[in-house]
Amino acid sequence: MEMVSTSRSANWFLALYSSALGKKTVMALTGIVLFGFVFMHMAGNLKVFMGAEAFNHYAEFLRAAGEPILPHGAGLWMFRLVLLTSVTLHITAATQLTLLNRRARPVAYVRRDAVQLGYAERTMRWSGYLMGIYIIYHLLHFTVGSAHPSFSAANPYGNVISAFQAWPVSMIYIVANLLLGMHLYHGLWSLFQTLGCNHPRYNSWRRVFAITFSVVVTAGFLSVPIAVLTGLVS
């Protein structure tokens, strides 16, 4: 077999990305970044149970992160840039692969049954795109404030309480986070497969990991609107 060896170059990433398997790799790696983010976000949200002062102090800490080495808000913006890059790559690769997969079966089956395909796997694309829309709403709601009727930049805790007291808003968040949980359930298992992390001794733990973290993240996020709706937190 002849082989062509190329040295690593600036084009290395583009060469990897041009391959479908490379796109999947990018989805897995950006998926890890995004999972790390939602986990931290969920953990941070639980500060709401420690009262207004703790929650608002935490919100201010996020803006001040990196000070005094970095100017106020700079650390946050660097973090946001990483997230924006990850989410853009994740969605772009998913869309390109979806189009590729459509072309791979130009004539549809009259009938093709699913053997073991679950609901989460089946809805991966739609849960992803719906969350994309939800994230835009979520940013306008709690970060920019334009989708919030009584937004106050100085009082994030108050914003959360007043928003979730309206049950339609809470419902949007509950549905979106159930979608997130399903998306994580398949994604957190799938990424091991894509990145080739496979060993007979650890393979069964990959599913345990996926179930545990998708449940923990979802339950953590859901606890806030439910606590507000039930009056547990006010």
Partner 1 sequence: MRLHLQIWRQENPSASGNLVKYTLDDVSEDSSFLEMLDLLNEQLVGKGEVPVVFDHDCREGICGSCGVMINGLAHGPSARTATCQLHMRTFKDGDTIQIEPWRSAAFPVIRDLMVDRSSMDRIVQAGGFISVRTGSAPEANLIPVPKGDSDEAFDAAACIGCGACVAQCPNGAAQLFTAAKVGHLNILPQGRPERYERAAGMVAQMEAESFGSCSNYRECEAVCPKGISVDWIARMNRDFLVARLKGIQGKTA
Q: Site residues (CB under 8 A) for partner 1?
A: 1-8, 12, 15-16, 19-25, 97, 100-101, 103-117, 121, 124, 186, 189-190, 192-198, 200, 203
Exposure b/e, 211-231, CB count within 10 A at least 16 = b: eebbeebbebbbbbbbbbbee
Tell the smallest beta-carbon distance from residue 122 to partner 1 (Å): 8
**Taking the complex as a whole, how short is the minimal distance between the CB of residue 76 and partner 1, in angstroms?**
33
Cα gap 41→19, rounded to integer Å: 32
Amino acid identity, residue 159? N
If the CB atoms of residues 32 and 74 are measured against partner 1, the closer one turns out to be 32
d(CA 132, CA 141): 14
Question: Based on CB atoms, which residue is closest to partner 1, 47 or 206?
Answer: 206
**Sign of the torsion formed by the C-alpha atoms of 105, 125, 26 and 215:** negative
Nearer to partner 1 by C-beta: 107 or 154? 107
Q: What is the DSSP letter of 109?
A: -
Sign of the C-alpha dihedral computed for residues 213, 218, 224 and 230 taken in this order: negative
The nearest distance, CB 191 to partner 1, in angstroms, is: 9
Cis peptide bond prior to 225, omega within 30° of 0: no
Q: Kindly tell me which of 25 and 218 has the beta carbon lying closer to partner 1.
A: 25
Closest distance to partner 1 from the beta carbon of 9 (Å): 9
Burial of 210 (0-12, 13-18, 19+ CB in 10 A): buried
Of 201 and 230, the one with the shorter C-beta distance to partner 1 is 201
Least distance to partner 1 from the beta carbon of 205, Å? 14
Identify the CA nearest to 156 among candidates 47, 224, 59, 86.
Answer: 59
Q: How far is the CB of 176 from partner 1 (least distance, A)?
A: 22
- Quick one: 147 exposed, middle or buried, by C-beta within 10 A (0-12, 13-18, 19+)? middle
Residue 104 or 154 having the CB closest to partner 1 = 104
Shortest Cβ 112–partner 1 spacing (Å): 5
Nearer residue to partner 1 within complex by CB, 17 or 137? 17
